[in-house]
Amino acid sequence: MFHHRSSAFGPSVTAIQRHLGAVEEELEKIGRIAGRRTSIAATAAGDQLGDAISTMMGDMIERFRQSRQSAGDTAARFGSRALKLGTSYGNDALERVASEVEGRPAVALGLALGIGILIGAAVLGGMNAGKPRQRRR
């Protein structure tokens, strides 16, 4: 039914094979060129990405430095305010105690004596607490 006619199709098949071979070679060249271009583009993109990340990290570090400096300044201001407030309260308390001592010197003397006795008892009690007790016979 189907007869193979090599003579009639031979030159056409050969021409098609040559054309296909030429197309294949062209495609290989295009593939190599595209591969090189892709590699160059990927390298450039990586460099740009690295530069962008470096810039962003630098900005973040600078923000942290500024925040740290701002926090330090705020802490110094709060410390200064606390010192002024503490000094004011201390001076007020000292003036109040001085006026009470001038008004009632005997009460102040008795209070000072009582506090001294309590401190002495605490110190002596602490010294004896570390020693073992001896039994009397």
Residue 117: predicted pLDDT: 92
Q: Is the distance from CB of 66 to CB of 74 less than 8 angstroms?
A: no
N-to-C CA span, the chain: 139
Residue 8 has pLDDT above 80, yes or no: no
Dmax (CA) of the chain = 143
Residue 101: predicted pLDDT: 80
Question: pLDDT tens across 52-93, in order?
Answer: 888 888 888 888 888 888 888 888 898 899 989 989 988 888
Mean pLDDT of the chain: 82
Residue 16: predicted pLDDT: 85
Residue 37 has pLDDT above 70, yes or no: yes
Q: Is the distance from CB of 112 to CB of 105 less than 8 angstroms?
A: no
pTM listed for this prediction: 0.39
CA–CA distance, 38 with 43 (Å, rounded to integer)? 8
Q: Give the confidence band of 3 by pLDDT, cuts at 50, 70, 90.
A: low
Residue 7 has pLDDT above 60, yes or no: no
Identify the residue whose tokens are 């309260």: 89
